[in-house]
């Protein structure tokens, strides 16, 4: 869509290089990299978070974008309708649309409300915990418009507390600070209980990992739990008991949660106690690789072993090392699975696509001297919608094997 200059607000212009293929952007790709745009003294001097007009090399208007000259992602597409200014009303409309879908999906207000590019708010993650929302503004434009974002979020959802979570690798890549803040209301003085998959999870919204809970694994937790009746389960990289508590909720005989964080394991224990099955949960703090090896030396066996590690391959340069780590985890975990038992392996590394992750997992299973049936391939839940033109938005993979 091209408008006459007089009908456009006074946006600065960012232009694609002549050899940049504009079709991918016109067809929905949301990122423009620094080697795809004309950069000069003017564009390099733009304040991070500036809203600009993107043009192709022939000076045809394409979209409104958020610019960050200090980032590898030089521009993020915000709006293709050039008659719609990016302001508080625009943010409110995006949040309203995101909320409408979540309210169809879930009867209770515990979910990911905004999944960045997947919901048309590039770089913005918002997880909702009842009356509390945790915002991760992982792009410079969202940091600039953070007050407008918080105001719109309160109007649309009615939440009474909004927290800014400034942790994570993405903000560093954007040149943003790592300072958390309370944007509305009061800082919660205790973990928030969240009911999911037949269990109660305790979400630490101020001191936990990410925003406090991993909603993305909800459907994969449910699938594993459906196989866990009467089973002895080992949940490795358990965080606050993700897979383990769901399995207990479906009648697992026992669960051993392994994690490197004593605080996370304490929350898993509290969640199990609140759920009424605290006596069937044990925890073990330690490095996952070392604990898996130690369990093998002890002769331990389980009916189900599930490993949900952090991203071993967070970027392309880390891919090969990450795949080796996934292979090693699969080998160590497979050795602990009873004949006919189940092995669940997960990856949240967007750099390791499904094929590469599955291959690494199968190599590890083979190195353990086991053979496998692949029963299930899972992804993030529907509150984490994928933008098809952005592979990174579909980062989560979960595989369930029978050995």
For residue 48, the domain's CATH number is 2.30.130.10
Rounded CA-CA distance 76/141 in Å is 9
Rounded CA-CA distance 344/327 in Å is 13
Domain of residue 60, residue span:
5-79
Q: How far is CA 260 from CA 69, 157, 257, 326, 335, in A?
A: 37, 35, 10, 17, 21
Say if CB 194 and CB 213 are below 8 A apart: yes
Contacts of 397 (CB under 8 A, 6+ apart): 346, 347, 352, 354, 357, 358, 377, 378, 379
Q: What is the pTM of this model?
A: 0.94
Say if CB 52 and CB 32 are below 8 A apart: no
Same domain, 168 and 229: no
Same domain, 122 and 198: no
Q: Which of 149, 166, 184 is the last residue of a domain?
A: 184
Same domain, 232 and 323: yes
Mean pLDDT, rounded, for 174-186: 94
Residue 377 has pLDDT above 60, yes or no: yes
Same domain, 132 and 257: no
Rounded CA-CA distance 138/102 in Å is 22
**What CATH number does the domain containing 267 carry?**
3.40.50.150
Same domain, 74 and 150: no
Paired tokens of 382: 């529907």
Q: Which of 184, 219, 242 is the last residue of a domain?
A: 184
Mean pLDDT, rounded, for 9-24: 92
**What CATH number does the domain containing 117 carry?**
3.30.750.80
Same domain, 133 and 196: no
Predicted confidence band of residue 7 (pLDDT cuts 50, 70, 90): low
Predicted confidence band of residue 220 (pLDDT cuts 50, 70, 90): very high
Same domain, 245 and 106: no
Q: Number of structural domains, the chain?
A: 3
**Model confidence pLDDT, tens digit, residues 276-334:** 999 999 999 999 999 999 999 999 999 999 999 999 998 889 999 999 999 999 999 99
**Model confidence pLDDT, tens digit, residues 55-74:** 999 999 999 999 999 999 99
Predicted confidence band of residue 209 (pLDDT cuts 50, 70, 90): confident
pLDDT at 212: 84
Q: Which of 163, 184, 205 is the last residue of a domain?
A: 184
Q: What is the DSSP letter of 37?
A: B
Reduced to 3 DSSP states, what percent helix, strand and coil does the chain have, rounded to the nearest 5?
A: 35, 25, 40
Query: Is 348 a residue of the active site?
Result: yes
Same domain, 267 and 163: no
Which DSSP string corresponds to 186-246? ---SSPEEEEETTEEEEE-TTTSSTTSS-GGGHHHHHHHHHT-TT-EEEEET-TTTHHHHH
Same domain, 132 and 276: no
Phi, psi of 394 (to 5 degrees): -110, 55
Token look-up 């697992």 returns 252
State the average pLDDT for the chain. Answer: 95
Rounded CA-CA distance 118/323 in Å is 26
- Given the residues 257, 307, 346, 348, select the one marked as catalytic: 348
Contacts of 31 (CB under 8 A, 6+ apart): 73, 75, 76, 77, 390
Same domain, 174 and 197: no
Predicted confidence band of residue 141 (pLDDT cuts 50, 70, 90): very high
Contacts of 126 (CB under 8 A, 6+ apart): 112, 113, 114, 133, 134, 135, 136, 153
Paired tokens of 155: 């109007």
Helix (H, G, I), strand (E, B) or coil at 165: coil
Same domain, 240 and 330: yes
Same domain, 150 and 173: yes
């Amino acid at each position: 869509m091209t408008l006459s200059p007089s009908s456009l607000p006074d946006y600065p212009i960012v232009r694609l290089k002549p050899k940049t293929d504009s079709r991918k952007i016109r067809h929905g790709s949301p990122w423009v990299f620094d080697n795809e745009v004309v950069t000069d003294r003017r564009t390099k001097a733009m304040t991070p978070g500036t809203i600009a007009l993107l043009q192709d090399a022939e000076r045809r208007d394409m979209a409104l974008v958020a610019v960050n000259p200090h980032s590898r992602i030089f521009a993020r597409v915000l709006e293709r309708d050039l008659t719609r200014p990016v302001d508080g009303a625009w943010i409110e409309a995006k949040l309203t649309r995101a909320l409408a879908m979540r309210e169809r999906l879930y009867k209770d207000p515990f979910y990911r409300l905004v999944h960045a590019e997947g919901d048309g708010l590039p770089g913005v993650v918002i997880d909702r915990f009842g009356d509390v929302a945790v915002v991760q503004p992982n792009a410079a434009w969202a940091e600039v418009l953070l007050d407008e974002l918080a105001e719109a979020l309160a109007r649309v959802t009615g939440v009474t507390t909004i927290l800014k979570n400034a942790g994570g690798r993405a903000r560093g890549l954007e040149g943003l600070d790592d300072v958390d803040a309370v944007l509305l209301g009061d800082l919660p003085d205790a973990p928030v209980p969240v009911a999911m998959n037949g269990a109660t999870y305790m979400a630490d919204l101020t001191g936990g990992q990410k925003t406090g809970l991993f909603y993305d694994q909800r459907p994969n937790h449910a699938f594993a739990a459906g196989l866990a009746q009467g089973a002895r389960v080992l949940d490795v990289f358990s965080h606050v008991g993700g897979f383990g508590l769901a399995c207990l909720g479906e009648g697992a005989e026992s669960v051993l949660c392994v994690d490197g964080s004593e605080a996370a394991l304490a929350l898993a224990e509290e969640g199990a106690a609140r759920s009424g099955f605290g006596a069937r949960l044990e925890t073990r703090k330690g490095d996952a690789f070392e604990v898996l090896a130690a369990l093998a030396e002890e002769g331990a066996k389980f009916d189900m072993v599930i490993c949900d590690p952090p991203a071993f391959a967070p970027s392309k340069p880390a891919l090969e090392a990450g795949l080796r780590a996934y292979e090693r985890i699969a080998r160590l975990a497979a050795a602990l699975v009873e004949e006919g038992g189940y092995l669940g392996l997960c990856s949240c590394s967007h750099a390791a696509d499904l094929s590469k992750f599955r291959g690494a997992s199968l190599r590890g299973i083979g190195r353990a001297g086991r053979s496998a049936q692949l029963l299930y391939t899972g992804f993030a839940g529907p509150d984490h919608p994928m933008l098809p033109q952005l592979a990174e938005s579909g980062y989560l993979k979960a595989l369930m094997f029978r050995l």
